[in-house]
Structure 1
């Protein structure tokens, strides 16, 4: 894995901050048990509207 670094320490810190709260989510079979599974990544914000949750990407 290649480490990414910025000249400005502030930018370096704000790129690492969200990782502290990240959690993996699998839709379908886990890659550990399926040869055909593929991994992709993305981000979303979970917004509560009344009694429902909406994921906004």
Structure 2
């Protein structure tokens, strides 16, 4: 299940970055979304690793 969430998160992240609709002008919001996406993927990985034990 977590693997599917990671894939979905990655797809949504790419779609947001390449979409012409932005919350703020310039690359600032894209950078913020990328950082949040990376943090979420690390969180999902940590949850999966902790549930293995």
TM-score > 0.5, shorter chain as reference: no
* Higher fraction of strand: 1
* Higher fraction of helix: 2
Which structure has more RCO (C-alpha within 8 Å, separation ≥ 6)?
A: 2
Structure with larger Rg: 1
TM-score, structure 2 normalization? 0.31
TM-score, structure 1 normalization? 0.30
